[in-house]
Amino acid sequence: MRTQVGIVGAGPAGLMLSHLLHLAGIRSIIVENRSRAYCEARVRAGLMEHWVSELLVEAGVGERMKREGMVHDGIFIAFNGQAHYLNFKKLIGKHVVIYDQKEVVTDLIARRLADGGEIHFEVADTSVHDFTTDRPKIRFRANGELNEIACDFIAGCDGFHGISRPSFPAGTLQGYDRVYPFGWLGILSESPPPEKELIYAYHEKGFALYSMRGPNLSRLYIQCAPDENIDEWPDARIWEQLHLRLGGVRKLTEGKILQKGVTPMRSYVTEPMQHGRLFIAGDAAHIVPPTGAKGMNLAMADVRVLARAFESFYRSRNSEPLANYSKTCLRRVWKGQRFSWWMTQMLHRFNYENDFDMKRQIAEIDYVTTSEVAAKSLAENYAGLPMG
């Protein structure tokens, strides 16, 4: 097999990269160790920055999102028994769109296959080779047989636990991370959400987030222990905590819990995001705690930069944008990290040794929900900083 860009991973980053390259007349092949059904069914954060929703439309893959996605003009932040509305539309003239990541993946897979794209699902033993030469290779096993893709470049879009990042030679990467002393218990419930838009709730028993996937489908999250045992959360306890943490600001209707799982909370960045002809994008290079849902948005920003850089290379043999890929992406990545950390530390309950920190934290929420200047900063980061 021979292609221009070999892509590891059929998540939002790998698929969008492949699609953008196709629009620019550049060939790619994707390998993915999971099945197509698995990729299309995995519930993940569902919040798109304004520009990402526009990118989907511009790239011709936004039709279903326009019909089924929910445009949200702002968010609620609840604390001390009151819900405060931050109106992004008024503050900064932007909105966000609620559309689950698995729907983005479903739409992109369908589109790549319709355009004749090559995606190998359920491959095993994927490895990347020779990326310090100009003939890198991806090897993998499919149906028991060894295969090799000879490519010009490799894009590692295979997530935090993928093979791409660990394939960098020893000593070429530096990792920066922070682990938080809590996790999120996420549930999907057949019930109407308590509001038309999201509620981020700070409560002395811990943070809770009230999100949604449809008029009768709620996506709800509760701050829990990082190593929480899901068996200790029978449905009745989940509802009790959700009612409590909503702090009486809205009425919450219970429904059948369709899914539950624990999300770990970690910030991680690796630098640089490139070695030779191997480029990493999205979760393969950086992960954020879920507060503010920056994960997929940062991945989309990476692949937009990468697709344009490949375009410059193939159109005009200009390799400067490729050489600058890591530097260009990391500026935005670190701002996304800062914002995700900031939202997380502002809204979660910590076991503070000193009540000073708790009082300071509440003052911060009070400030953000009453100062237009502070609210604008939150809104600008939440709805997505401008793409350079």
Among 11, 156, 194, 292, binds ligand DHB (CB under 6 A): 292
Give min distance, CB of 109 to ligand DHB, in A.
20
Residue type, 263: T
Q: Tell me how far apart the alpha carbons of residues 264 and 214 are, in angstroms, rounded to a whole number.
A: 25
Is 221 annotated in the active site? no
Which residue has tokens 């914002």? 339
Interaction mask 167-206, ligand DHB, x per CB under 6 A: -------------------------------x--------
Q: ω into residue 386 within 30 of 0, thus cis?
A: no
Is 193 a catalytic site residue?
no
CA atoms within 13 A on the CB side of 366: 8
- Please state, as a whole number, how many other Cβ atoms lie within 10 Å of the Cβ of residue 221: 21
Quick check: is 286 catalytic? Answer: no
294 catalytic per annotation: yes
By the rule CB under 6 A, 12 interacts with ligand DHB: no
Only one of the segments 65-73, 289-297, 323-331, 346-354 lies at the binding site for ligand DHB (rule: CB under 6 A); that segment is 289-297
> What 3-state class would DSSP assign to 377?
helix
Looking at beta carbons only, is 45 or 383 nearer to ligand DHB?
45
Q: Is 72 a catalytic residue?
A: yes
Nearest CA to 176 among 52, 379, 319, 341? Answer: 341
Smallest gap from residue 295 Cβ to ligand DHB (A)? 8
Number of CB atoms found within 10 A of residue 255's CB: 16
Catalytic residue among 19, 294, 325, 348: 294
Question: Which of 200, 202, 221, 325 does the annotation list as catalytic?
Answer: 200
Residue numbers 16-55 binding ligand DHB by CB under 6 A: 45-47
Return d(Cα 111, Cα 107) in angstroms, integer.
6
| Nearer of residues 75 and 128 to ligand DHB, judged by Cβ | 75
Given a contact cutoff of 8 angstroms between Cβ atoms, the answer to whether 254 and 246 are in contact is no
- For the chain, how big is the Rg over CA atoms in Å? 21
**For ligand DHB, which residue of 290, 301, 304, 368 counts as binding (CB under 6 A)?**
290
The contact pattern for ligand DHB, residues 206-235, with x = CB under 6 A and - = no contact, is ---x-x-------x----------------
Give residue 110's identity as a one-letter amino acid code. A
Contact assessment for residue 107 and residue 64, using Cβ atoms and an 8 Å cutoff: yes
Positions touching ligand DHB (CB under 6 A) are: 45-47, 98, 198, 209, 211, 219, 290-293
Catalytic positions, please?
Answer: 72, 200, 290, 294, 382
